[in-house]
Structure formats: structure tokens, C-alpha cells
Structure 1
Amino acid sequence: MQESTGVDRSPGMPEALDELDYQLVTALQTAPRADWRRIGRAVGVDATTAARRWARLTEAGLAWISCYPGMIEGVTTLPAFIEVDCAPGMAHEAAAQIAGDPNVINVEHVTGNRDLLLTALLPGQGALSRYVAYRLGRLEQVVATRTQIGTAIHAEGSRWRIDRLEGPTGEPSRDRLGQERLAQDRPGRGRGAIKRSDVELVRLLGHDCRQPVARLAERTGLSPTTVRRKLQRLDADRALIYRCEVARLASGWPVAVNFWGAVASAEVAEVAARLAGLREIRLCTSLSGPSNLLFTVWLRSYEHIQAFETELGRRFPTLAINDRAVTLWPMKLGGHILDPDGRHLRAVPFEAWQDAGAEAAQKDLLARLREQPGQQVSR
């Protein structure tokens, strides 16, 4: 089972990952839908052992796979990063309400100058304006919001690897060699768009992307041959974004920090490309605001925050860090609801945001704007 219904775990459920678990996660980060025979071969166990290990991790909420569309045919998707200020004592309640929105990928309770940091995907600037004004703005727990558009995504969570890849001598481990074989087996020719006819299949994959073809066929009403063909095309087009995640308490990288930085416009592309190559980077995006870069890092401990920022100053002398926020509770990550320790609770598959109340409110506003006589403005 991919989903879990609560934080209570059965007796004997693990609270940490062993070496084989880490290798299994690395293999699934490389080839999320590979069959258990191939996964097992990559990490040196049989298919039954690999499948049993994965079931054990998912049942404990320690690992899971996210799946959501990169682009949808005919839809311009606008990434937005929204800071939310909440009424005193209401941050968790606000986060819980927002986390159910299918267009919101991440909901983080953070330190610093905002209570919540949201990552949302909207079909254009009009929809983003409507979402901020008529969805977030009407929550009684929300006091204020500040929105920036992600103008270019340089790195995101699907590329991050937990990496158990080198043996004690520094030579490639069995895991590294297995991962390379999995990567070679997986086709791909660049990021493509989801066809509108595939949206329902993608929504079902959002619940559990390792569902067998027979189950997906039953749920979509398509034949297994058609489902298999669609999956092959989606994989070949790299149209889906997969993320094999590990609970924060078990990842070895328990501290997440968001940095807002600024560089000269002419340097953004170069600095962002170099930042994206750092081991600790989970997200790096250009922003529309005065801090024109936002990047998220995962670190080994809180003591590493200052050391990491010092190293940033050495490597990127023109990068000014304007603000930083430590994630306290990633209530939603990659479309999945998590507990305060980062363990998996349930999935919220991505869908385009629709809200009849917000649309009605905007129509009412437009009607009132049309009724108001225009004023002559001298120039």
C-alpha cells in the first residue's frame, strides 16, 4: 500500500533505514516504476525481498513515491511561491486547510518572517491572482500573503538522491553500478507534456505510481494494452515528475533551509546553474521579486547551517543572502501529507485548481467594475 491513514504504526515497524533500505530507495529514485526483479537485481536481492522491504518502508511512512505532471498539453503552468502570515496560534490550522488544495505541491511551516511557505502551480497569472485573493485571502486564519512567480526552475526535488553509492575504498559500490544499469534501461528524450486524454491516468498514478497495469486499466476503463502504451509514452517523454522520498527523521538530512538571495540579473543563470549542482540543493528557482533566487537545501544538522552559508559566501562572492527560513513541519511535500517528523500519511494527487466560489466572486467584481463610469485622466 502506498498510503497510510495515520501516524500509529504496527509493532515492529522500523523507525530508521538500514543499508539495503537506502540502496532500495536510491534504485527507486532512478527508476520509479521498474519491476521488482530489476530493482532487486540492482541492489543484490531477489524480487520478493525488494518488494517486501518496500512494503515495510511505506507502511511505516518512511518512504514513498510522488508523481505529478510537469506540463499539461495546452496549459501554461505558472509556479508560485507564496508566503503566508497567520493569526497567532493558527498556522497549523491554516496549513491543514491549504494542504488539501490539489494545486499546492508544498506546504511548509517555517521560521522567520512568514508562518507558511507554499509552492503552488496555477494555469496562468489570472488563476494565481484568483487563488491568492479568493482562496487564501478568505481563510480566517490568514492575515497576509506575499507572492512571487518562479520564472525559471533550475533544480527540483526529483533530481535529489539519497545516494548510498560509494564503497569503503571510494570505488563505485554495487548500488552505484545497479543504479547506472537502471538509468540506462529507462528511456527518455527530454521533458514532454501530458496529453489531456491522459490526465485521469496521471491522477490515479498520483495516489500510487507503482500500481500494476491491470489495476490502472480497471480504474480508467481502458484496456491493459492501452494503459501500457500510455505509460511507455509518458516515460519516454519524461512527462511525469517522480520523486522517491524518505521521511525526514530517517533520511540522514533532517534539516531543510530555504534561502532567498540576490545577484545581478546578468549572473542569475550562471549562479543558479552552479547552485543546482550542489549536493545539498533540493530546489533552485529564479524569482520575480527583489530576491531573484530562492533555493532550498537539506543539511545534516542545524550546526551545518552556518557552515553551509559560509561556504556559499566563498563559492559565490556576488550572491547576497537576504533571508533564510528553517522548515519546522513540511506538512505537504511533493503532493503528499506528512506528520511533524516527515512520515507519510496520504497522497493529494495534483489537479488544476477549480473553485466555483472564487470564480463567482471574481465575476461579481468584474460586473461591478463594468458598471462604474470611467474617469478621464489628464496626461
Structure 2
Amino acid sequence: MSRPTQESTDQASVEHLLRTERPEQLDELDYLLITALQTSPRAEWAQIGKVLGVDASTAARRWHRLTEAGHAWLSCYTVAVGPAVPIIAFIEVDCAAGALHDVAAEIADDPHLITIEHVTGARDLVLTAAFPDLAMLARYVGFRLGRLPGVSATRPQTATAVHTEGSRWRLDRLDPDSHDLLAKDQGPAMPRRGLPAPDALDTRLYLLLSEDFRQPAARLAERLGVSPTTVRRRLDRMHRQDSLIYRCEVARHLSGWPISVTLWGIAPAGETSRIASQLIRMRETRLCASLTGPHNLMLTVWLRSAEDIAAFEARLADRFPELAVADRAVALWQLKIAGHVLDPLGRHIRNVPVTFWKDPAAHRTEQALLHRLRTPR
């Protein structure tokens, strides 16, 4: 067998680079399929195929091709954490020159980090995270982030309310009749009170669902070592309690909405709920939250182009003259969304199941500090 020449090797490298930097475009059936799964993530392939006008095997085959290429993917995480609502925090991180990517790679597997974004403006990274309480948030910021080489500053804020988040965003390629055939109750936008804390079996089930929530109950039961009836009973309970959030995502580069912008605004305290209720109905809105910091409203939108940023802000000013946009940031690289690590074009790389953070080293460091504080000088 002849060895490849340098010319052929170079040509292969160029072709690989072109495939990497210029991903294939999606066709209309791909967009319809993604929208159908955003509308009803757990629908049977036969039902999805009927709505799209194809057979079940074609729908399943198309989806497999999309996921293999990293162009689209499914995610699932739980909001069942017990009687208290978890703390949702937005943490701004400043990095030393040249350290940003090392910091991002170090924290990518922190399971409670829902989103990691490299952004423009007055901060390098914006993290969205969930914690069981404020003490755990303080521990993470002080004894994890604050001690990482390359982190020069952190600024956490907590959400007093999350009005909507990415699981409710749609490509909107389906006609109204097809949408109505698939649409179901979408459950809560974010965690709510009164959900029982998961037991050990629930937690194991959540982790398997985060890998692939469309796998049949029999397969889940086999992997858990329990009966299919037990799995179905637990899934039925979780769905009745709205304790699971399902998402279908598409690579932002291929979505038709490639520009992600986060805006921080200041609204009169008595007007934030009214403004938020209208912001979440806007086509572009991916996230809307009320915050505890100097900017009491945070909005993330996906736009068609960079030129649309000014036009969108003008629309906000016209519709909400009492809302002052104080700052903005454009996402350069969304490194992680809803527990999934992405490449610079927004394509899927791998899954990191969303759970609460536990770090024995940080706990020991905190205990050492407490010992010092208990000891009079």
C-alpha cells in the first residue's frame, strides 16, 4: 500500500478544516424536525413523522444524523430539590490575559454550571448556576472560582425570579395545526417550591434521562436494575409534579438566530413584573430574570444579525420607556448550554449532567477558615 504524499495529506487537512469551519446547512425538514422536538420532546417518532409528512424511520434517521453531527441535541434536567427553591445565580468572571480558555476548561465539568459564555464587554465569562442555598454559592465563589489560577475577579448576582429560559424558545417552523397536534403542557420555566427531594433511585434515573430521555422504560429499568413498572411509576410521578425540564437545542450558527445578546436593565421596582411578562412574549427572548444587583432585570435574546442589536434596543426603548438598558454583552462562544459543552460554532461536543456542586477540597478550605474565625487572635 502506498503512503500518502505530503500534498494529499495537506489537502485532507484543508478539507477537514473546511468541514469544521463551514458546517453543512440544514434543510427545511431538519428545521421542522427540530421544531417538533422542541414542541413535544418525548413524542413518538410515528407521531412526529405524521405531523411532518414522513414515516417514523425517516424522522428517527434524520434526528440521528443531526445529533451525530452535533447540529442538534436533547437535554433533560430536574427541578426537584425539596421544599426550597434552589438559588439561581449569574456570576461574572474576569480572567487574567491569556487565561480565559484555561479557566473555562477547568470549570466546564462543574455540574451545577448550567451555562458558560465567553462574552464581549466588561466581563470575560458569564456563568449561570444553581445552588441549594446561598452558603453553597458563597463557597463556590470564594473557595472554587476565587482560587483558580487566572481568575482575577468574580461578581455574583442571584435571581429573585426567572421569568423564562431557553427550554421555551422555538424555531417556529411548524404551522399552527401541526403545532397544536404536538403541543403539551411544558411544565415550569424554572424550579418551583414544594417538590419532594429526590431519593437515590430518582437521582440515578435523572442521570440516565440526562443522557437520553427518549430511551424506553425497559432500557432504563435494565440499566437501573429495577422493573419497568417501577421506572414508569416514577416517571409518571415526575411528570405530574413537573419536576423535569426537557429541551431540544440547535447549534446557534445554524439556527438562523446566530447573535446572542445579554442586556442588563434598570426598571422601576413596581414595574419589573409587568415588563417581564411582556418581554417573555417577544420572539427573540431566550432568558428573562429579575436580579438582586444594581441592574434588576436581565434579558438574553437571539437575533438574526449584529445589525439587529441597535434595532432591538430601539424597540425596547419605544415599548418600555421606563426601562433603561445599562449594559450589554454579545456571546462570542457559548461554551456550555443547559449542561452541554459546545464548540465555537455552537455544535454539541458532550453532556455534563446538571446536578448540585460538591467539592471536598473547597469544604475543607472553608472549615479551615471557620477554625481560624473561632480562634481569638
Asked whether 1:63 is paired with 2:67, we answer: no
**Equivalent residue for 1:196, pick from 198, 203, 208:** 198
Q: How do 1:281-360 and structure 2 match up within 5 A?
A: 281-360=285-364
SS of 1:368's equivalent in the other structure is helix
The aligned counterpart of 1:78 is 87
Q: Does the C-alpha gap of structure 1 residues 62 and 187 become closer, same or farther in structure 2, counting only changes over 3 Å?
A: closer
Post-superposition shift, 1:74? 4.1
**Aligned twin of 1:177:** 177
Q: Which stretch of structure 1 is more off in the superposition, 194-203 or 286-295? A: 194-203
Task: State the distance in 2 between where 1:15 and 1:195 align.
Answer: 43
- Secondary structure at the aligned position of 2:207 is classed as helix
Which AA in structure 2 matches 1:177? D
| Amino acid corresponding to residue 203 of structure 2 in structure 1 | V
Q: CA RMSD in A?
A: 2.1
| TM-aligned CA deviation for residue 207 of structure 1 | 1.6
Deviation at 1:350, TM superposition (A): 0.8
Query: Is residue 187–residue 245 contact of structure 2 (8 Å, CA) maintained in 1?
Result: no
Q: Look up the SS of the partner of 1:68 in the other structure.
A: strand
Residues 1:188 and 1:129: Cα distance change in structure 2 (over 3 Å): closer
Return the letter of the residue paired with 1:50: A
| Aligned counterparts, 1:98-113, within 5 A | 98-113=107-122
Distance (Å, rounded) in 1 between the aligned partners of 2:352 and 2:368? 31
Contact 1:194 1:234 in 2 (8 A): no
Asked whether the equivalents of residues 338 and 354 of structure 2 are also in contact (C-alpha less than 8 Å), the reply is no
Matching residue's letter, 2:135: G
More displaced, 26-35 or 47-56?
Answer: 26-35
- Partner-residue secondary structure (3-state), 1:196: coil
1:49 and 1:330, CA in 2 relative to 1: closer, same or farther beyond 3 A?
same
* 1:119 corresponds to: 128
Distance 2:313 2:196 in 1: 38
What CA distance in whole angstroms lies between the structure 1 residues aligned with 2:215 and 2:24? 25
Flag the 1:189–1:85 CA change in 2: closer, same or farther, 3 A.
closer
Q: What is the alpha-carbon distance in structure 1 between the residues aligned to residue 24 and residue 231 of structure 2?
A: 36
Matched, 1:210 2:219: no
Match of 2:10 in 1: none
Residue 266 of structure 2 corresponds to: 262
Counterpart for residue 170 of structure 2: 161
Counterpart of 1:238 (choices 235, 242, 253) is 242
* Shift, 1:210, TM fit: 1.7
Cα distance change, pair 16–98 in 1 and its aligned pair in 2 (3 A):
same
The separation in 2 between residues aligned to 1:309 and 1:289, in whole angstroms, is 21
After superposing the two structures, state which structure 1 stretch, 31-40 or 276-285, moved more: 31-40
**Could you say if the C-alpha distance between residues 290 and 41 of structure 1 is closer, same or farther in structure 2, counting changes exceeding 3 Å?**
same
Partner residue in 1 for 2:51: 42
Kindly tell me the number of residue pairs found equivalent between the two proteins: 356
Paired letter, 1:179: H
Match of 2:31 among 22, 25, 28: 22
Residue aligned with 2:287, SS: strand
Aligned equivalents of 2:196, 2:316: Cα separation in 1? 37
State the partner residue of 1:149: 158
Distance 2:38 2:235 in 1: 17
Partner of 2:261: helix, strand, or coil?
A: strand
Contact map agreement 1:194 1:239 (CA 8 A) in 2 = no
Paired residues of 2:80 and 2:198 also in contact (CA < 8 A): no
Percentage of identical aligned residues: 56
Aligned partner of 1:164: which letter? R
**Would you say the 8 A contact 1:42–1:177 is kept in 2?**
no
Counterpart CA distance in 1 for 2:376 and 2:54 is: 72
Q: Using the alignment, how far apart are the partners of 1:193 and 1:199 within structure 2?
A: 14
Q: Is the 8 A contact 1:108 1:117 kept in 2?
A: yes
Alignment check: 8 A CA contact 1:77 1:123 kept: yes
Q: Equivalent residue for 1:89?
A: 98
How far 1:194 moved relative to its partner?
Answer: 5.9
Distance 1:126 1:216 in 2: 35
Contact 1:62-1:343 at 8 Å conserved across structures? yes
**One-letter amino acid matched to 2:122:** N
Instruction: Kindly provide the CA deviation profile for residues 117-154 of structure 1, in whole angstroms up to 9, marking residues without a partner as x.
Output: 00000110000000000110111011100010011001
Shift of 1:371: 1.1
- What letter corresponds to residue 178 of structure 1 in structure 2? S
In 2: Cα distance, 1:265 partner to 1:277 partner: 20
Which deviations, in whole Å up to 9, do the C-alpha atoms of 1:215-265 show, x marking residues without a partner? 211221121111122222222322111110000111000000000000111
Q: Distance in 2 between matches of 1:26 and 1:238?
A: 21
Q: Deviations over 1:72-113 (max 9, x none)?
A: 224541000000000101111111111110000000000000
Q: Indicate the SS of the match to 1:268.
A: helix
Code of the aligned partner of 1:196 = P
Cα deviation, residue 188, structure 1: 6.2
Unpaired segments ≥5 residues, structure 2:
1-15
Q: Give the equivalent residue in structure 2 for 1:5.
A: none
2:42 to 33, 46, 65: 33
Kept in 2, the 8 Å contact 1:21–1:53? The answer is yes
CA distance in 1, matches of 2:156, 2:186: 37
